[in-house]
């Protein structure tokens, strides 16, 4: 279904995968590469923008939500988030470089929101980290002969 939406589907899928909804956006990027309907640069750019938008949704959840809401409605584990919060506090906005990481990326984004880091700096650093991940992913797929 997302494939029929073209670049918007890629954006939407990558955005949703960066929220608390568990899904791998790398598969979407690989699928878009396989279709060869768009230049690789555009695929990486759209995926990066979408994934960053999703990360900023998680950031906003941390900024606006109360602990009770995060636990009750979004099933965020307080102990895990506190462990991530301590590490994120050490690195500040630079922790957003790892907001793409499986299992902890969403928690990093939420923790950055809870810490009230500068949203514009967080956005910029997060975009760099997520774009770098897609560049590496695309390069690995090309180098291994998948595409």
Under the banding of pLDDT at 50, 70 and 90, the label for residue 96 is very high
Confidence (pLDDT) at 76: 73
Task: Tell me the C-alpha distance between 6 and 37, whole Å.
Answer: 9
The pLDDT, as a whole number, for residue 84 is 74
Query: Residue 103 above 60 pLDDT?
Result: yes
The whole-number pLDDT of residue 78 equals 77
What is the domain extent for residue 74? 2-143
What's the pLDDT tens digit per position in 24-71? Answer: 899 999 999 998 889 999 999 999 999 999 999 999 988 998 777 777
> How far is it, in rounded angstroms, from Cα 29 to Cα 137?
9
Lowest mean pLDDT among 4-8, 53-57, 129-133: 4-8
For helices 40-64 and 67-74, give the axis angle rounded to 10 degrees. Answer: 120
Residue 3 CB burial class (10 angstroms; 0-12, 13-18, ≥19): middle
**pTM above the 0.75 mark?**
yes
Write down the mean pLDDT value for the chain. 88
Longest dimension (CA), the chain: 48
Domain count of the fold of the chain: 1
Reported for 117-120, long-range contacts at CB under 8 A and 24+ positions apart, including other chains, are: 117/92, 117/93, 118/93, 119/56, 119/59, 119/63
Mean pLDDT along residues 79-95: 82
**Calpha distance 36→55 (Å, rounded):** 27
């Amino acid at each position: 279904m997302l494939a029929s939406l073209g670049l918007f589907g890629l954006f939407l899928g990558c955005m949703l995968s960066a929220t608390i909804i568990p899904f791998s956006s790398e598969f979407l990027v690989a699928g878009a590469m396989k279709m060869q309907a768009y230049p690789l640069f555009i695929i990486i750019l759209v995926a990066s923008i979408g994934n960053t938008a999703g990360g900023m949704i998680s950031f906003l959840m941390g900024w606006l939500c109360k602990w009770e809401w995060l636990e009750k409605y979004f099933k965020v584990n307080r102990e895990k988030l506190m462990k991530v919060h301590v590490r994120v506090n050490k690195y500040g906005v630079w922790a957003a470089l790892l907001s793409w990481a499986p299992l902890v990326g969403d928690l990093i984004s939420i923790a950055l929101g809870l810490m009230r880091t500068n949203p514009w700096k967080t956005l910029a650093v997060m975009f760099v980290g997520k774009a770098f991940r897609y560049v590496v992913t695309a390069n690995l797929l090309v180098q291994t002969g998948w595409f």
